[in-house]
Amino acid sequence: MSARFAPRLALIAVVALAARLIYALVIVKTDVLIGDAREFDTLARNLADGHGYVNPYLLEQGTIRPTAFKPPGYPFALAGVTALGGGGYVAHHVFTCLLGVVTVVLAGLIGRRVGGDRVGLAAAGIAALYPILIAADGSLRSEALYTMLVAACMWAALRLVDRPTTVRALVLGAFVGLAALTRTEALILLVLLAVPVVGRSPARLRQVAVALAAAVVVIAPWTIRNWSAFDQPVLVSTNDGGVFRGANCDQAYHGPGTGFWFIECIKPTGERNEAKSSAVQRRQGLEYAREHAGRAVVVGGVRVLRTWELYQPRRQAGLGSALEGRPLRFQQLATVVYFLLAALGVAGAVLLRHRHRILAVLLAPVVLVTLSSAISYGFTRFRAGAEPAIVVLAAVAVVAAAQRLAARRGTSTT
């Protein structure tokens, strides 16, 4: 690493923080406190007030009932901010923006490992001003933490590929565990990242086993808590039941809402136990999918296209604005920039095609997003974990193009 890399990366981080704070505190303010954001905020306040991780809506009615509907990672992080005296949406906004800055720095470090200082600084610069990342970091949702942790997983995996050690395997596993406590599907990264880590050396399976053990240690306390609270095993969250039921019904299989999710499809189960209610909803959703198996395959494809904004991109932008309190114009700008970066990302992947293990690490979140969307539903926000990979791959293409242009100019002047 050159002596100039660190100070330049720090300067980019400052720019990233300024952009996010302007978006969060000047542009959207409290507009984002709807839906999931309000629930995360309430969960955090309840934790800080000593009520425990309980259903926030029932608590408002005076009923205390444990919940695991939302994975605990982000609410516990916000609760820590509140407990330290950072109550109010402003403190939570600032904290979440800081998470985004860490993502920018990680993008720079990943880029440097992939292609040197220039790629690292280009990746950090793109991430700093990428509207989709700015909006995610200013929306008071778990995606800011999740994106940071997925980026950390990629960084840890690249370090493990470079030099396999027990400590590096432990770090990777811990990051995967923390990511799974933020969004459960991150557990798939253990499988996806095992491929480049092992490579052609089965001896490296030991590092994969160490990473798996570390992830289990991180997740186990929460799983034990859930088992105690619901009298049955719940790995991380109970929200999969609602996801499967709301994504497998007539509205989600036909018409303009194909591939999306509808709360209208979820009916009360009569179960007081949240885990049992989730199991009923999951069974209903899977039964619907089996009864409409032929259509389910088509819908799965549409879900993936929705997440990658290749199906109804204008509608997707409108949904992001309406459901998450984002300014429509900003969301539309973010979509345009995303398409540009996605095209550059494809070019970057082609340039890295002979560096199989590095490319496999960078594509792991892309595969994860695709798989999780196919079995749940399609929404732009679900792409968050793959955004750092897109940024790094785009940086590879940008730097390569700049170098070719410089070489041509040098040749023409000699």
Taking residues 351-356, report their average pLDDT: 95
pLDDT of residue 89: 83
How far apart CA 225 and CA 220 sit, in angstroms, is 9
Q: How many CB atoms lie within 10 A of CB 14?
A: 11
Q: Which helix (H) or strand (E) holds 7?
A: helix 5-21
- Averaged pLDDT, 242-250: 97
As a whole number of angstroms, the distance between CA 135 and CA 297 comes to 32
Using the predicted structure, report yes or no on whether residue 3 has a pLDDT greater than 90: no
Instruction: For 26-85, write each residue's pLDDT tens digit.
Output: 999 888 888 899 999 999 999 999 999 999 988 988 889 999 999 999 999 999 999 888
Q: What is the pLDDT of residue 414?
A: 56
108 neighbors 154 (Cβ within 8 angstroms)? no
Q: Is the pLDDT of residue 338 over 90?
A: yes
Q: Convert the pLDDT of each residue in 93-130 to its tens digit.
A: 999 999 999 999 999 999 999 999 999 999 999 999 99
List beta partners, residue 66: 54
Q: What backbone torsions phi and psi does residue 211 show, to the nearest 5 degrees? A: -60, -40
Whether the per-residue pLDDT at 413 is higher than 70: the answer is no
Strand, coil or helix: 263: helix
Q: Distance between alpha carbon 386 and the CA centroid of its chain, in Å?
A: 7
Give residue 412's pLDDT band: very low, low, confident or very high (50, 70, 90). Answer: low
Q: Is 248 left (phi over 0), alpha (psi -120 to 50) or beta?
A: beta
- Mean local confidence (pLDDT), 149-157: 97
CA dist., res. 115 & res. 121, Å (int) = 10
Calculate what percentage of the chain has a pLDDT beyond 90.
Answer: 82
Written as six digits, the tokens of 381 are 């926000």
Rounded CA-CA distance 160/149 in Å is 16
d(CA 392, CA 102): 15
| Span 122-131, pLDDT tens digits | 999 999 999 9
